[in-house]
Structure 1
């Protein structure tokens, strides 16, 4: 089997993980690490036995596939240049920052017969896969994704930085168009919204509420799914799944825990599984499990949420509901 030649563009937090995975995989040769900060590229290249470069334009002719882990605002430029050169691309979410750019990348990937895979790594988590197998007709979904403040990812809104993971999950669980969106969000630490809350109303009656924050004290990645006579709570941070149910038609009975304690899934490596799936698509000429059209669907909903957030007025002190001396609304 001929070894595939790989490179990673972006030697920051996520790029380091990608480079180490490629360097350890059989049948793959990590050829280059690229970063506009050449010293940072050299450090990671030295750890993984690759060549350090400072321009992704130097990759055509040298590699077969690339992981793109640069800031989201540069995804389009880098991916466009690589796809145009016939290089297969795994790009961290969001695929791009605009729908026009996403369509252009999909068209280019089709023309060049290249694999373009958006990096929704949680799709390869055993907890998510188990949850998805149990959910057939959700009635209500509650998604919470919280993280502490970091300078990484702050070139885009928290909806594109964090919430888009849960948008992707929900679109996989609910096979129905979105009928209405209510959303609000506020910038706190950056010039973009750092905390956001959205409610998606689907045509089939399902409602999903999503909260994302990158200014929280404790991390949280939790999905709660309610469907007829069943409730599931997946903790993607702690790698657990709780299941509750009652016999159909037993209206007077409460939901009962199906398991003595939360199901604890063994430690796994979703990023390695994601990269291996990407490589398998290249070798066997098949479409990725997470398709670029999946990435564009999530991006479309993300932009609709941000549009509703920008239309949501920020109350001034004079506009807030009057309160009594106890601080409660009158």
Structure 2
């Protein structure tokens, strides 16, 4: 069974796909305390209406795709927090339902001025479950087979909940990406994007060249797009060019705002002026460069918000006039 690529379908109707921005950042703006091993996933149980509100804000800003609150949502993670396995599974699937409800509040089937927005179910890396910052390092204590087993149940739950595709994001290693492709082979109806965290303009977080990752994933069934997220702005253009030289899949980029994250203290710090000397200072400034380099989808990760997505949507509208 061959399933059409939902990203390719959307790109037939718009110059580039507009992905949403940070979920956790906006939840904090709404007064939520996310200082917890479950991060924003804790609110799937405690304040689901806040998650729905953030998804809706991004759709209203013009996003073509929202990413669910399942990045750090796993059955073992919820069970460690005192929930039963059945409660954990229901919360993981609730992440998709909340995004679908937000889309239904903004977009109607007879609406002709924008394509039907996509729901991308977040599949965070093993390092996100560990909650120790290792999604920015790699070097896990699990081999590829162990990573397959770690991801197996959540991936099946998110697909069963009706997500349009999976957002397999912030991966620090090629091994973890290949573990995901092993699982996709068991779900012939599934489509997923795979995005890596990168440490510079050439390599992902564990040091593997991004071009090597792109070449390895280029022909894997079910891989709808590849790219980078949760990465510093100055590295994005070079990473896009490296990916484009290795494969023809759509390239998605959703970098951080430009601030620097300390995974030990779990705090953000303003970037030094020199950090942006050779790169854009924000999403809107970077978008023309990234599209010219070969990107097909642009959005934001940590410390970005609806105002950033609204600015990109306005610029895209001007491009179409």
What TM-score results when the alignment is normalised by the length of structure 1? 0.30
Answer 1 or 2: higher relative contact order, Cα 8 Å, separation at least 6.
2
Q: TM-score, normalised by structure 2?
A: 0.31
Task: Considering fraction of residues, name the structure with more strand.
Answer: 1
- 1 or 2, which has the higher helix percentage? 2
